[in-house]
Amino acid sequence: MLNENCGLFAVYHKDSSFNVSAQIIEGLIALQHRGQESAGIAVSNGENIQTYKGMGVVNDVFPKEVIKRIKGSFGIGHVKYSTNGFSNYANAEPLTVKYKGEFFSVAHNGQIENSAFLRDLFEEKGTIFFTTSDTELIPHLLVTNLKGAPSTWNPENIAKLIDKHISPSYSLLLLFKNKIIALRDRYGYRPLAICETDDAVYLASEDSAFKFFKLNNSKIREVEPGEMIEINSEGLKSYKINKNNKYRYCFFEHIYFARPDSNIYGDNVHLMREKLGELTAKEHPVEADIIVPVMDSGFSAALGYSKASGIPLELGLMRNKYIGRTFIDPDIQERKLSVRRKLSPVKEVIENKDIVLIDDSMVRGTTMKHIVKMLKENGAKKVHIRIASPMVVNTCYWGIDIPDKKDIIGANKSKEDIKRIVNADSLEFLSLQYLSNYLDVKVANYCFHCFQT
């Protein structure tokens, strides 16, 4: 099972009488694909912070009365998949704590690599943890090293502490009663974007979340790796905390996680996925009647494969839009049930056809085995699988939560074994070498750990 990471969203409105709660919730809806376990917001009116969160998707967590009750001109929000910790209310974010008579809140996307070491270190000193989330390490780190009330803490000191002690990956939002601080780790594993308009400043895991707002004279860019942003009533300040230039952008954001209309790491996600499909067609051509994408994440790659190969694209599998992304579900049995009800073959399209089945990635192989079975039961003569990414052969500890190596089919089986297991007529993956050649000099900026033994 390939688990999702999390989504971050923040607003600082220049009008102190404006209530940003509705905007944060709207931003979280745009980022719902990044986490469906829990959602939460923390909002400040300049004096106090109010937090509201719950288990489930955004529309279920926030009743309309929340917008009227949780008021403030700036705040942060979070949608979660628990890459480190259990799925429960205590782990839902933002985490809000009280120290020296003031509340402050933290929202985190990523996974802290040295979390076990830090937790042991704090516990040896008598610290009590109230969650199993690695995010809780951050408030403990701050309160044990900084003096005075949280609103008086120096932003650079905050960022330097985190950079020194917290191992990537992380993109962070911190809310204080008088400001918002955003920080991206020195390697840039997880994306984070900022948008300045005439009226407000927005932050989000993906820039597609900004499209729901009035972007008058907007300036949109990515927060740089190692950069810290401070936003308060005086405006926006940027600090370069770590000038490391060896980036490690997670390529799985392009393959699977991000929305197609987002721009991350300097490229549009849809166009990158289309290019991955084109590269797969060039590296692994096959004769067939139609191209069929595994909806929805395989569509862009299938479009690229179709354009490059000249084989027509057909929607031979229809997706029930009311079923969540199966990889995102933390319960394996529920995920398997979701697979069975998620996709429906269109017999009239696939019957008596040789099919090229395109998907973005393969981790366990269980989903693909079921899809091939459905296609052949509905009359497909041959099913040639083309995966528009390299074979996943390793775990990931930096915010994706790819399972133990024993659960990764590519780490334990050869390509021929996998082809036989899923009952495909042929199976090919875009090779890492072919992808690297395309990326050229950009390849040095990406993390491909999950594709390498």
> Within the chain, how many helices (H) and strands (E) appear?
15, 23
Beta-bridged to residue 182, according to DSSP, are 173, 229
76 Cβ contact list (under 8 Å, min separation 6): 8, 9, 10, 24, 41, 42, 94, 105, 107, 173, 174, 175, 180
Which residue, 92, 95, 89, 79, is CA-closest to 325?
A: 79
Which one of the listed residues 6, 195, 250, 396 is annotated catalytic?
A: 6
What end-to-end distance do the CA atoms of the chain give, in Å? 19
Residue tagged 């829990």 (tokens): 38
Counting every residue, how long is the chain? 453
- Which residues have a Cβ under 8 Å from the Cβ of 130 and sit 6 or more positions away? 90, 136
The answer to whether the CB of 389 falls within 8 A of the CB of 255 is: yes
- 6 carries an active-site annotation: yes
Nearest to 58 by CA among 41, 42, 43, 39: 39
The answer for residues whose C-beta is within 8 angstroms of residue 142's C-beta and 6 or more apart is 150, 153, 158, 161
Active-site residues, by number, are 6
